[in-house]
Amino acid sequence: MGWERSPGGLVSAMQPVIEERGALWVGWDGGTGAARIPAFDTLSLSPVRLNRTDVDHYYHGFCNSTLWPLYHDAIHPPQFHRDWWRPYRDVNARFARAIVRRAGRRATVWVHDYHLQLVPQIVRLTRPDLRIGFFLHIPFPAEELFAWLPWRAALLRGLLGADVCAFQTEASAANFSRVARRYTAAEGTDRELEAEGRRVRCIAAPISVDADQFEALARSDSVQRRAAEIRRQLGGRRVLLSVDRLDYTKGIPTRLRAFEELLRKGRVSAQRVVHVQVAVPSREEAVGYDEVRREVEQTVGRINGSFSEPGLTPVHYFRRSLPKEELAAYYVAADVMVVTPLRDGMNLVAKEYVACRVNHTGVLVLSEFAGAARELRRAVQVNPRDVDAFCGVLLQALSMDGREAKMRMAVLRTQVRRHDVFYWARTFLHTLEE
């Protein structure tokens, strides 16, 4: 078996940053054996091993069936199992040991995401010389939800080992700071805490994409040709596009139901409009993922069963990962990008679409509950649970006057190009090194 890049936003965002700056990437290799990591030209990787029980209890269990749903507003009920907590602690300690062994004197350590919230404290205890930053890729929930967690104080003490705790939005940073004051001895403000005699800064650092790379792809002849071909293959219809990991936070069934309602009411027809939903499978062993897949597939089946016409299928559903070039071609081919998660830390797909719209056409429909909504103000924003509003914004996007669309896209593009992933990394590391 060969090696694959793991799906999702963390790797999409970090790979260009690490390739630019150089760093050692300590991470799980995705397997349960003692695989040999091949040498990559541009990345230095240092694997941490997990066994089968770790994968079940730590990864699918505590990370993806407790923390992930809890931090996403309990869209799916989080599971609380004592048996999953110890493996979480053990694996965090293993990562911390791997870091401590490899980090040079006074090096900078950047810990990523909800899987490793205990690492900052463990590293700090053995290596006070290191600068430690933490970044959470997903939302940090409100106190009412975080309080459910039986291990809340331990997690907070873990995070408070960092010098800087960074989040996608100001709201997440403030949520963290408030619960830290409530459940630990830390004191201070929403932006700065004092914990065990040290200063811990709490900041918002919204993550982004390698905009130049997407833009160059979008301008390339091969992607332009492929985009034109996709449009032909879709019958020259107006194209609505969505691209997500197949995850219950992404709101895929909710979005399909809004499209279904428009078809049922005759506001759109399969002759004129097609919705392409690309969904990459992920975390199929965690709780809730089977259900969302079934629901998506049933809904697609029901819509196509009711509204297809000869040669014209209203929903095209691809359950697979696409190579970056092909993904860019879809972004270039789409008239309307529909990004409507029920809750999302940031959402890179929205920014990738904007980066690819080099001729300033195209409309972005964006959920208010994606972190990206704070920055992408000129997107057409919607509460995805409001089905009437959802239908309304889809119609608005499909019929938007070309001048208004261009004006909105120009503003979105300036935002994404100025605040790309390198800007994000610089801002974070600058705060850490201050």
Residue from 180, 346, 354, 380 touching ligand ADQ (CB under 6 A): that is 346
- Taking the C-alpha atoms of residue 250 and residue 348, their distance in angstroms, rounded to an integer, is 12
Q: Closer CB to ligand ADQ, residue 183 or residue 289?
A: 289
Report the nearest approach of ligand ADQ to the CB of residue 84 (Å).
21
Report the nearest approach of ligand ADQ to the CB of residue 72 (Å).
8
The residue nearest ligand ADQ at its CB is: 9
Phi then psi for residue 313, to 5 deg, are: -100, 125
Phi then psi for residue 95, to 5 deg, are: -60, -45
Q: Closer CB to ligand ADQ, residue 165 or residue 270?
A: 165
Residue from 123, 273, 336, 348 touching ligand ADQ (CB under 6 A): that is 348
Residue labelled with tokens 């990004």? 339
**What single-letter amino acid sits at 83?**
D
Report the nearest approach of ligand ADQ to the CB of residue 340 (Å).
12
101-102-105-106 Cα dihedral, nearest 10 degrees:
-110
Query: Using CB under 6 A, which residues numbered 304 to 343 contact ligand ADQ?
Result: 321-322, 327
Is 12 a binding residue for ligand ADQ by CB under 6 A? The answer is: yes
Report the nearest approach of ligand ADQ to the CB of residue 104 (Å).
27
Is 365 a binding residue for ligand ADQ by CB under 6 A? The answer is: no
Cα 119 → chain centroid: 21
Number of helices (H), then strands (E), in the chain:
17, 14
DSSP 167: E
Is 207 a binding residue for ligand ADQ by CB under 6 A? The answer is: yes
Task: Look up residue 56 and give its two tokens.
Answer: 């079940």
Report the nearest approach of ligand ADQ to the CB of residue 363 (Å).
18
Helix (H, G, I), strand (E, B) or coil at 360: coil
Residue from 227, 349, 412, 432 touching ligand ADQ (CB under 6 A): that is 349
Is 252 a binding residue for ligand ADQ by CB under 6 A? The answer is: no
Report the nearest approach of ligand ADQ to the CB of residue 135 (Å).
8
Is 137 a binding residue for ligand ADQ by CB under 6 A? The answer is: yes
- Taking the C-alpha atoms of residue 167 and residue 431, their distance in angstroms, rounded to an integer, is 13
Phi then psi for residue 114, to 5 deg, are: -65, -15
Q: Which stretch binds ligand ADQ (CB under 6 A): 10-18, 149-157, 298-306, 399-407?
A: 10-18
Q: Closer CB to ligand ADQ, residue 55 or residue 346?
A: 346
**What single-letter amino acid sits at 434?**
E
Q: Closer CB to ligand ADQ, residue 90 or residue 295?
A: 295
Report the nearest approach of ligand ADQ to the CB of residue 112 (Å).
9
Residue from 260, 352, 375, 420 touching ligand ADQ (CB under 6 A): that is 352
Give yes or no for a contact between 329 and 230, defined as CB atoms under 8 angstroms apart: yes
Q: Closer CB to ligand ADQ, residue 9 or residue 141?
A: 9
- Taking the C-alpha atoms of residue 427 and residue 409, their distance in angstroms, rounded to an integer, is 25
Q: Number of residues interacting with ligand ADQ: please give it, by CB under 6 A.
A: 24
Is 245 a binding residue for ligand ADQ by CB under 6 A? The answer is: yes
The residues carrying an active-site annotation are 137, 344
Cα→Cα distances 417→52, 165, 351, 355, Å: 42, 25, 9, 7
Q: Which helix (H) or strand (E) holds 83?
A: helix 82-102
Residue (of 362, 366, 391) closest to 377 by Cα position: 366
Q: Which helix (H) or strand (E) holds 147?
A: none
Cα 150 → chain centroid: 26
Binding mask 269-308 for ligand ADQ (x = CB under 6 A): ---------x-x----------------------------
Q: Could you write out the three-class secondary structure of 399-413?
A: CCCHHHHHHHHHHHH
Is 10 a binding residue for ligand ADQ by CB under 6 A? The answer is: yes
Residue from 64, 65, 340, 347 touching ligand ADQ (CB under 6 A): that is 347
- Taking the C-alpha atoms of residue 135 and residue 162, their distance in angstroms, rounded to an integer, is 10
The binding site for ligand ADQ (CB under 6 A) comprises: 7-10, 12-13, 137-138, 207, 243-245, 278, 280, 321-322, 327, 344-349, 352
